[in-house]
Structure 1
Amino acid sequence: MRYELFTARDLAGEPPRHPSEFDRLLKTALAIRPGTFLIGEAQWLNGEAFGYFRYLWDEPATQLAIIFVGGEGCHTVLRREPMLSSRMFIWQHFTRLTPSEGLEAIPLSHPVWAGVDPDDITFADRYAAHGNFRRQAVCRL
């Protein structure tokens, strides 16, 4: 994970060899330049990964925001980590779009959908996406 954060922050030089050097470098970088980590599929992270994010966030000098995004079960997984979940500022639950919300959102999601007839969007949803925005976004007419 340290290497991924090093790469994501586009830090200069070679990645450090030892965890303590990595930690010092990441904390310094996060103190100098604020950052936001967007962690997708957070329900698949283990306790060690959550602990490391908490460790970076708890450093008083760092200027860090962490957004955990996940699918089914994410809330349950995050709640199992009390030292992390007690630091959560906002818990946000997203629900499935209604068909009319989908008809409004899909044309805005990608230029290929801009200007597409709503009946064609409904057809693509019915026969390919089945109400899943991610699947709808990658459907090509």
Structure 2
Amino acid sequence: MTAATYQYVDLPDAQVVTTRALLTARENITDTVAARAMMCIHGNAGFGKTLAVNTCLRELEDARGEEVCRVTFRARPTARAVRYELFTALGLPGEAPRHPSEFDRLLKTALAERPRTFLVDEAQWLNGEAFEYFRYLWDEPSTQLAIVFVGGAGCHTVLRREPMLSSRVFIWQQFARLTPQEVQDVIPLFHPVWAEAAPEDIVFADQHAAHGNFRAWAQLTAHIRTALARTGRPKVDEELLRWAFSRLA
């Protein structure tokens, strides 16, 4: 996948790299969609959750024609707000119903038409009421629904507090930092500026700035590109790294 799809910064020539977490997510998402089940992918910010999930779901869209509806929450939504987000994501015609019972019938009818997968991003913003509404729709026998919740650690915490929903989660996956070995394996593939970098410079960059966090690696890479362009140097060195670190402090 090319840089145009990379989500953190505008980073030409960046590539999506196949980490162990992404491979595991691909398998878990494929199994969840096949089972029309629910799963939760959680972990701290910058570990590549959303990118990995979107990559895997795009593969299912392209290879199998899976219909994926993406919804994202930036504040704690009520069940009413969830209804409106789903109405919009499904592209339903006309005006949204005003009465909850009518709204619920409309959504359940739409979700029974054909199989769909919902990606619910930033799920750490969901409260018990919102999670319960997703469970309510998923439990409806006529709906053909798979749901992938993606969020920070708070997502896992809130889900675990909701036993009715938690007991229905098919797969849990936690994203963590890249290990030092993974950094050495995947960062040279992530962007050309690291392809010719000395292994000790990659270790230095990870220990002092990136710390196994993909978002931090993307930010650092953007600054290194700038430094290389301005200095005309052929590759990364410690001086350029220290200059980039100063921008991240």
Partner of 1:33: 114
Match in the other structure for 2:146: 65
State whether residues 120 and 150 of structure 2, in contact with CA within 8 Å, keep that contact through their aligned partners in structure 1: yes
Distance 1:32 1:132, change over 3 A: same
Please say if 1:95 is aligned against 2:172. no
1:7 matched to 2:7? The reply is no
Q: CA contact under 8 A between 2:187 and 2:194: conserved in structure 1?
A: no
Q: State the 1:34 CA deviation.
A: 1.6
C-alpha change, 1:54 and 1:132, in structure 2 (3 Å) is same
Q: Offset at 1:128? A: 5.0
AA of the residue aligned to 1:117: W
Change (3 A) 1:5 1:95: same
| Mapped pair 1:54 → 2:135 | yes
User: Of residues 123, 136, 139 in structure 1, which corresponds to 2:217?
Assistant: 136
Structure 1: runs of 5+ lacking an equivalent: none
Q: Give the 3-state SS of the residue equivalent to 2:129 in structure 1.
A: helix
Residue 23 of structure 1 aligns with which residue?
104
Structure 1 residue runs of 4+, over 4 Å off? Answer: 103-109, 123-128
In 1, Cα distance between the equivalents of 2:154 and 2:133?
21
Residues matched between the structures, number: 137
Matches of 1:51 and 1:108, distance apart in 2: 41
Q: Which amino acid aligns with 1:22?
A: F
Q: Which position in structure 1 is the counterpart of 2:15?
A: none
Instruction: Give secondary structure in 2 for the equivalent of 1:33.
Output: coil
- Mapped partners of 2:130, 2:112: distance in 1: 20
Identify which of structures 1 and 2 has the higher relative contact order when contacts are C-alpha pairs closer than 8 Å and 6+ apart. 2
Moved more, 62-71 or 38-47: 38-47
1:79-127 Cα offsets, whole Å, 9 max, x none, are 1000000111111222211234245445766xxx3x3324399376556
CA distance, structure 2, for counterparts of residue 135 and residue 103 of structure 1: 15
Unpaired segments ≥5 residues, structure 2: 1-81, 226-249
